[in-house]
């Protein structure tokens, strides 16, 4: 749940928007000095929202590449600094030292902005949380393509096959051939090296890198860290035993 599997999208950025929005709103109220009570309420809201935001972030961080984890660690340190400043700011405000509280909040906003910048770097430059299987269906002309003969596919053991620029996970079970994009939607791990398992009566593939579980029937996610489904391609068998795949 903390990865965001039920909503099909990473949960952390969603919660971070709420947290940062509350804290930035506090700065606006402080600058305009409209209502100190409203600023306190907004600050408390931001601090409360920071807890689930951090929990989701740590959960995502635990399944990243080393380079991403390095940036993620500095992102977390900046956030902890921001939250410490904001917590002290709230205490100051509650004890009547509003001016000091406001100063601490502005310092907190600086640290939170740095954390936000690093979060953007992680998401957009290092593609943490992005769907790594999104481009698959754009790299091959649409329509039916011959892939290989049925005879050359082993029974019950996934193999990799290349179609144009894309790698495909191919699994033969009897006369049925299942084809998914091979690069895991989480961080492009090689699914053909994964393990076949049965979850809730449905055959699934477990990614060898961070353990995401996808249904073989439609590529949907059973367990994260992946939140985006794995592209599942339609297949058919020609009369002369050629496995064909539709992109």
**Contact flag: residue 206 with ligand FES (CB under 6 A):** no
Among 49, 209, 227, 228, binds ligand FES (CB under 6 A): 209
R_g over Cα of the chain: 24
**Contact flag: residue 128 with ligand FES (CB under 6 A):** no
# of chain residues touching ligand FES (CB under 6 A)? 12
Among 225, 228, 229, 233, binds ligand FES (CB under 6 A): 225
Backbone angles phi, psi at 200, to 5 degrees: 50, 40
At its nearest, how many Å lie between ligand FES and the CB of residue 194?
A: 8
Among 184, 204, 228, 245, binds ligand FES (CB under 6 A): 184
Distance in angstroms (rounded) separating the CA atoms of residues 23 and 224: 30
What mask of x and - would describe binding to ligand FES in positions 53 to 92, judged by CB under 6 A? ----------x-----------------------------
Stretch that binds ligand FES, among 16-24, 79-87, 140-148, 204-212 (CB under 6 A): 204-212
**Contact flag: residue 189 with ligand FES (CB under 6 A):** yes
- Are 148 and 243 contacting, i.e. CB atoms less than 8 angstroms apart? yes
**Contact flag: residue 186 with ligand FES (CB under 6 A):** yes
Name the site residues for ligand FES (rule: CB under 6 A): 63, 184, 186-187, 189, 207, 209-212, 225-226
């Amino acid at each position: 749940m903390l990865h965001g599997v039920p909503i099909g999208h990473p949960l952390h950025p969603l919660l971070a928007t709420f947290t940062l929005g509350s804290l930035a709103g506090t700065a606006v109220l402080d600058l305009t000095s409209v209502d100190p009570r409203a600023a306190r309420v907004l600050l408390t809201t931001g601090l409360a929202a920071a807890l689930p935001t951090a929990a989701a972030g740590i959960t995502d961080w635990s399944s990243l590449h080393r380079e991403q984890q390095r940036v993620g660690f500095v992102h977390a340190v900046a956030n902890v600094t921001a939250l410490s400043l904001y917590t002290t700011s709230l205490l100051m405000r509650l004890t009547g030292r509003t001016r000091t509280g406001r100063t601490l909040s502005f310092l907190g906003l600086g640290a939170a902005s740095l954390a936000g910048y690093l979060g953007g770097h992680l998401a957009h430059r290092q593609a943490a949380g992005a769907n790594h299987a999104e481009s698959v269906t754009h790299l091959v002309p649409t329509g039916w393509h011959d892939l290989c003969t049925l005879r050359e596919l082993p029974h019950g053991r996934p193999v990799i096959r290349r179609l144009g620029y894309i790698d495909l996970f191919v699994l033969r079970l009897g006369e049925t051939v299942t084809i998914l994009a091979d690069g895991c939607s989480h961080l492009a791990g090689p699914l053909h090296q994964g393990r076949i398992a049965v979850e809730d009566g449905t055959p699934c593939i477990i990614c060898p890198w961070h353990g995401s579980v996808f249904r073989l029937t439609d590529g949907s996610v059973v367990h994260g860290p992946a939140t985006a489904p794995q592209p599942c391609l339609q297949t058919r068998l020609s009369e002369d035993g050629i496995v064909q795949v539709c992109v």
